[in-house]
Amino acid sequence: MNIALISIPKIQEPRGNLSVIENDCIPFEMKRVYYLYDVPSGAERGGHAHKNLKQFLVALSGSFDVVLNDAKEQKTVTMNKPFEGLLINPGIWRELNNFSSGSVCLVIASAVFDEADYIRDFEDFIKYKNQ
């Protein structure tokens, strides 16, 4: 599956930890940054794939699961470390669920928002992957 867990540099000191994400940390240039928070218990986010966009997800606080599917296999990755990010390359269906109370999911994207890049129906995703 075309995903990767990537360590984010962490500076530890008695006053608290600091992590830095710069363009050399992730394999694409950052074009958009957004975050998910106050996700109600039992709610799900995602439920789509991208044709071209790359994303890098980080659990800044708390935890959540990312269910990934490339039309051949499905894998669940639990995100719970603010010094580790999940790279999701194009052509991967993703669903985010099991958000803990107070969790914050940071998303760094390789492009600005473009609705035409989204595949929002799972059956359409399977057709797209089988072309």
Active-site residue list: 48
Q: Which two tokens stand for residue 124?
A: 């359409």
Long-range pairs for 65-69 at CB < 8 Å and ≥24 separation? 65/96, 65/97, 65/98, 66/94, 66/95, 66/96, 67/94, 67/95, 67/96, 67/97, 68/1, 68/3, 68/92, 68/93, 68/94, 69/93, 69/94
